[in-house]
């Protein structure tokens, strides 16, 4: 079951707000509904968001009036802008929308219906490529895990964060499928608990040994010498290797550096934004304070209490041991090597 796909003329997704309590799929019949599903985190994870955005553009093309190519393209522009605004930090969303709009403006398409067919095929290609790319990253990254290791993971980067298989959890999955014996510690990842809800659920499905940790406990287990490797995902990687990921990643990176523990991010080259030169340029999404005060509707404190809720933080490249991509493991110098990897993808 893919996290996001095309089904009977609609965009179908796993509703990640319901996991681990239930596994349900929901269908969306408008690009606005797809964008809203990205915003409310029915679908989340940079690669999955990219695929959802691509299918959203394909859906808009199917439903948007226009008998000529130029009419359809003009009518698609508001849909593209609406979807791009759904979440500001994950670059895969913008990458997918831009890729789809470039296809729409292909001069070889002679009619609106040609464009509609091309867009649906391209969205499907983006989804299929994501699965293949994740498996390649998994194969490269699995070499980082040895028998007997304990691996720390933050947030959720598995099949649910992608179309299928996963990025950082895809590396863990690949190592497990190779027969390696190891243990995974999952930061719970407040305030939405992606680690406790989603990553633990995925480990249960795969049979990989794990424990959920309070976010504040990672340093304790590093100090005890239990953690041998840290693996995280990324929502945007700058040209210099600075990267944005789920809030709490930065502090994990600092503690890993203090304790001499290798720290890697796992991200496809579609998550690399060569136009941004450092993490200071990454827009950080601020979400509703209710997620902090009353996670999933369960009040922890009175609703008038003050709170802040940044969804991501930025980890400087100096804390990175490397970046696992579908082109291999990228190490310093990041500027040259990331540029080469993106060029190889293109």
Q: Detail the DSSP E strand segments found in 188-259.
A: 210-213, 229-232, 236-238, 243-246
Q: How far apart are CA 231 and CA 245, in angstroms?
A: 12
pLDDT score recorded for residue 106:
79
| Residue 129: band (very low, low, confident or very high) from pLDDT cuts 50, 70, 90 | very high
Q: Is 260's pLDDT higher than 70?
A: yes
**The residue to which tokens 């996001």 are assigned:** 4
What residue segments make up the domains of the chain, in order of their start?
4-135, 138-345
pLDDT, residue 346, reads 67
Kindly state the average pLDDT of the residues 267-284.
96
Percentage of the chain lying above the pLDDT 70 cut: 99
- The topology (CATH level 3) of 138-345 is Rossmann fold (3.40.50)
Q: Pick the catalytic residue: 235, 242, 273, 313?
A: 235
Q: What is the mean pLDDT of residues 326-341?
A: 97
pLDDT score recorded for residue 53: 98
Residues 131-167 as b or e (16 or more Cβ within 10 Å = b): bebbbbbbbbbbebbeeebbbbbbbbbbbbbbbbbbb
Give 75's Cβ-side CA count (13 Å radius): 19
Find the mean pLDDT for residues 154-174: 98
Q: Quick one: average pLDDT of 134-139?
A: 98
As a whole number of Å, the CA-based R_g of the chain is 20
**Do 286 and 310 meet the contact criterion of CB atoms below 8 Å apart?**
yes
192-236 pLDDT, tens digit per residue, is 999 999 999 999 999 999 999 999 999 999 999 999 999 999 999
Residue 79, phi then psi, degrees to nearest 5: -65, -45
Is-contact 173 161, C-beta < 8 A?
Answer: no
Q: 157 pLDDT exceeds 80?
A: yes
CA 76 to chain centre: 25
Same fold, 4-135 and 138-345: no
Averaged pLDDT score across all residues of the chain: 96
The tokens for 191 are 């305030």
Q: What is the mean pLDDT of residues 185-198?
A: 97
Residue 22 has pLDDT above 80, yes or no: yes
5 catalytic? Reply is: no
- Reported as a pLDDT band with limits 50, 70 and 90, residue 334 is very high
Q: Angle CA(24)–CA(40)–CA(136) in degrees, nearest 5? A: 70
- Closest by CA to 166, choosing from 224, 217, 205, 123, is 205
**Tens digit of each residue's pLDDT (9 = 90 or more) over 80-106:** 999 999 999 989 999 999 999 999 987
Query: Average of pLDDT values for 118-122?
Result: 96
Answer yes or no: is pLDDT of 174 > 80: yes
Place 108 in a pLDDT band, splitting at 50, 70 and 90.
confident
Q: Which pLDDT does position 222 carry in this prediction?
A: 98
pLDDT score of 45 more than 70: yes
Q: Compute the average pLDDT of residues 305-325.
A: 98
- Is the Cβ–Cβ distance between 171 and 134 less than 8 Å? no
* Average confidence (pLDDT) over 183-191: 98
Q: Tell me which CATH code domain 4-135 carries.
A: 1.20.120.420
Reduced to 3 states, what is the DSSP secondary structure of residue 9?
Answer: coil
């Amino acid at each position: 079951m893919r996290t996001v796909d095309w089904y009977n003329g609609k965009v179908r997704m796993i509703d990640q707000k319901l996991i681990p309590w239930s596994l349900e799929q929901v269908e969306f019949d408008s690009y606005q509904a797809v964008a809203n599903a990205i915003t409310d985190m029915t679908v989340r994870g940079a690669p999955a968001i990219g695929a959802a955005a691509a299918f959203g553009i394909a859906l808009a093309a199917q439903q948007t009036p226009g008998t000529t190519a130029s009419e359809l393209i003009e009518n698609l522009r508001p849909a593209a802008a609406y979807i791009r605004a759904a979440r500001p930090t994950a670059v895969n969303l913008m990458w997918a929308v831009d890729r789809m709009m470039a296809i729409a403006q292909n001069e070889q398409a002679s009619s609106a219906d040609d464009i509609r067919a091309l867009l649906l095929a391209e969205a499907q290609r983006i989804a299929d490529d994501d699965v293949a790319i994740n498996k390649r990253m998994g194969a490269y990254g699995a070499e980082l895990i040895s028998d007997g290791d304990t691996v720390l993971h933050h947030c959720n980067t598995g099949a649910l964060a992608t179309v299928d298989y996963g990025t950082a959890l895809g590396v863990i999955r690949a190592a497990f499928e190779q027969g390696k014996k190891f243990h995974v510690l999952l930061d719970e990842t407040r305030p939405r608990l992606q680690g406790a809800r989603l990553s633990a659920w995925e480990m249960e499905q795969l049979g990989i040994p794990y424990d959920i940790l309070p976010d504040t406990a990672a340093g304790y287990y590093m100090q005890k010498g239990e953690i041998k490797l840290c693996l995280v995902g990324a929502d945007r990687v700058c040209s210099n290797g600075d990267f944005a990921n789920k809030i709490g990643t930065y502090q994990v990176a600092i503690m890993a550096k203090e304790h001499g523990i290798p720290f890697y991010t796992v991200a496809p080259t579609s998550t690399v934004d060569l136009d941004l030169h450092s993490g200071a340029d990454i827009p950080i999404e601020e979400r509703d304070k209710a997620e902090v005060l009353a996670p999933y509707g369960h009040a922890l404190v009175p609703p008038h209490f003050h709170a802040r809720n940044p969804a991501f933080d930025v980890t400087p490249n100096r804390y990175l041991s490397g970046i696992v991509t579908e082109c291999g493991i990228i190490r310093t110098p990041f500027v040259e090597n990331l540029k080469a990897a993106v060029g190889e993808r293109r």
